[in-house]
Amino acid sequence: MNKPLRRIALFCGLLVLSLLIRDNWLQYVKADSLKTDALNRRVSIERYAQPRGNIIVDGKAVTGSTETSSSDFKYKRTYTDGAMWAPVTGFASQAFGATQLESIEDGILTGNDDRLFFRNTLDMITGKQKSGGNVVTTLNASAQQAAWNGLKKQGGKGAVVALDPSTGKILALASYPSYDPSSFAGNSTTTDTKAWQKLQKKYDPNDPMLNRALRETYPPGSTFKVVTASAALQNNLYSSADEATDSPLPWTMPGTTTPLKNEGNIPCKNATLRVALQYSCNTVFGKVGADLGNDKMLAEAKKFGFDAEQFTPVRSNASVFSDNMNQSQTALSSIGQYNTAATPLQMAMVASAVANDGKLMKPYMVDKLQSSNLDTISQTEPEEMSQPLSSKNAQILQSMMETVVEKGTGTSAKIPGVTVGGKTGTAQHGVDNSENPYAWFLSYAKNADGSSPVAVAVVIEDDNANRDDISGGGLAAPIAKSVMEAVIDSKK
């Protein structure tokens, strides 16, 4: 073979080798990334080629699928009472992707999860159409409806979270205003895109797509005094609910010339912890925080879940209690002001731990995952997260919170024949506290045997309300009461 032919043969050989290497690279090395690439339309076509599995509440699907006629995506998602359930389900949209449970459990819902391999193989052998599995939630439909109705009737903005203290199961997770995921579940530029755009914050300042129950942090105001009372008991600053505290009136915050004020003429001078919580004395709990110091207050807040994201499995923002604060800053933070901030989920966790004799259970909203034939693929087991306070101190704090409802600021949460503990909060915010405060209420209901079926946190932000009419007891407590009643009634 002459020299030019050898060069051509060598060159052709290199081309064939390069083609083989490239082909194997695409088929074996890059296969998974190409399969999941958002720009690979065939992936989306396959995802919507069959109905998605459903998200289940109390044995009933709150989602569905409907066949389309104007797209190469055969099915699109539908929702029952979509706005009410959106903080739980999230959305699955052909045009805008998926969020929350629809995203986290997408593999189960589409049938593509590796745990469904055996089921899918059987379906392939028998000629049955591939179908997705189900996500069975811990939610209580009656509690969710009560939370949604309460927020909607109030008409401002707000959120509700209800937990089962003994397990950590999320029973209600409501946010208002909300959105209907069905309105943009398809990929039409004339309907779905326009519906999506209308929901964006720049077009709707109420930000209906914000999950306020998990993703908004608020100053917790006086509801944080439950954490401060816990810290006082756990660190032996005080040993009972009824011993006098060292709380002069007026009390000037350390390092300042500024006295910490109480709301009105209330009996806070050297008040007991019980009376201080009953009347919500800023001076008592501010001084408790200053006396304990930043380190001890921070350690107790962290035991309740502050300064860490929570995964339910939907992510919740981290609530905040700061480090490196001086005594006066710690005092303000200990009454839920300064830069202390909490999600409604976090404050429900606080009430839950107290109600569960000091044991905080990890919150979760997925009870189990099922295959299309309803076989259980995985089951969530309750998990202890921490022990913020001893059983003895939790019971002391329960008696204090029950006094708040019996004859304090939380009387509007009373339920006939049921023991209820609670704590109100009115949290200032805005420059120089210029904006309407947030109204908070934490509570739990207790059975005759001492067990607690439900703990609730409610926050209301109402820009249109009369400032003087805003209080946790007035705006938030009635909603908490209705949610607790719904849970109690559903267990009868």
What is the rounded average pLDDT of the residues 353-379? 95
Q: Over 70: is that where the pLDDT of 120 sits?
A: no
Q: Would you state the pLDDT for residue 431?
A: 44
Report the C-alpha gap between 58 and 64 in whole angstroms. 15
Question: Could you say which of 65, 142, 182, 222 is catalytic?
Answer: 222
Dump pLDDT digits (tens) for 320-338: 999 999 999 999 999 999 9
Q: Catalytic residue at 352?
A: no
Q: Which residue has the tokens 């060292």?
A: 246
Q: Would you state the pLDDT for residue 315?
A: 97
What is the rounded average pLDDT of the residues 242-271? 95
**Residue 486 and residue 140 in contact, taking contact as beta carbons nearer than 8 Å:** yes
Report the C-alpha gap between 484 and 345 in whole angstroms. 16
Per the model's pLDDT, the better-predicted residue between 293 and 38 turns out to be: 293
Q: Over 70: is that where the pLDDT of 32 sits?
A: no
Report the C-alpha gap between 429 and 426 in whole angstroms. 10
Q: Would you state the pLDDT for residue 462?
A: 64
Q: Would you state the pLDDT for residue 465?
A: 42
What is the rounded average pLDDT of the residues 66-71? 81
Q: Would you state the pLDDT for residue 31?
A: 63
Q: Would you state the pLDDT for residue 470?
A: 41
Using 50, 70 and 90 to split pLDDT, how confident is the model at 342?
Answer: very high
What is the rounded average pLDDT of the residues 349-355? 98
Q: Over 60: is that where the pLDDT of 429 sits?
A: no
Nearest to 380 by CA among 303, 309, 452, 312: 312
| Average pLDDT over all residues of the chain | 90
Q: Would you state the pLDDT for residue 42?
A: 73
Per the model's pLDDT, the better-predicted residue between 431 and 358 turns out to be: 358
Residue ranges of E strands in 52-194: 55-57, 60-61, 63-67, 75-79, 92-93, 97-98, 134-137, 157-163, 170-176
**Beta strand pairing call for 251-252 and 259-260:** antiparallel
Measured in degrees and rounded to the nearest 5, phi and psi for residue 82 equal -55, -40
Q: Determine the Cα angle at 160 with ends 277 and 81, to 5°.
A: 165
Q: Over 70: is that where the pLDDT of 124 sits?
A: no
Using 50, 70 and 90 to split pLDDT, how confident is the model at 54?
Answer: very high
Per the model's pLDDT, the better-predicted residue between 431 and 188 turns out to be: 188
Q: Would you state the pLDDT for residue 30?
A: 65
Domain spans, the chain: 213-369+384-490
Using 50, 70 and 90 to split pLDDT, how confident is the model at 8?
Answer: confident
Using 50, 70 and 90 to split pLDDT, how confident is the model at 467?
Answer: very low
Domain 213-369+384-490 bears CATH identifier 3.50.30.30:
no
Dump pLDDT digits (tens) for 181-191: 999 999 888 89
CA distances to 99, 189, 209, 264, 349 from 202, in Å: 20, 19, 12, 40, 32
Query: Tokens at residue 490, please?
Result: 């559903």
Using 50, 70 and 90 to split pLDDT, how confident is the model at 472?
Answer: low
Judged on CB neighbours under 10 Å (0-12, 13-18, 19+), 203 is: exposed
Query: Tokens at residue 448, please?
Result: 């005759």
Q: Would you state the pLDDT for residue 464?
A: 47
Query: What pTM was estimated for this model as a whole?
Result: 0.89
Residue type present at position 12: C
Q: Over 60: is that where the pLDDT of 163 sits?
A: yes
Reduced to 3 states, what is the DSSP secondary structure of residue 387?
coil
Per the model's pLDDT, the better-predicted residue between 40 and 179 turns out to be: 179
What is the rounded average pLDDT of the residues 65-81? 88
Q: Would you state the pLDDT for residue 339?
A: 92
Q: Would you state the pLDDT for residue 375?
A: 87
Least confident window among 13-22, 190-199, 326-335, 418-427: 13-22
Using a pLDDT cut of 90, give the percent of the chain over it: 73
Ramachandran category for residue 17: left, alpha or beta (phi over 0 → left; psi -120 to 50 → alpha): alpha
Q: Would you state the pLDDT for residue 153?
A: 93
Using 50, 70 and 90 to split pLDDT, how confident is the model at 314?
Answer: very high
Nearest to 433 by CA among 221, 256, 226: 221
Q: Would you state the pLDDT for residue 50?
A: 86
As a residue count, the chain comes to 492
Using 50, 70 and 90 to split pLDDT, how confident is the model at 126?
Answer: low
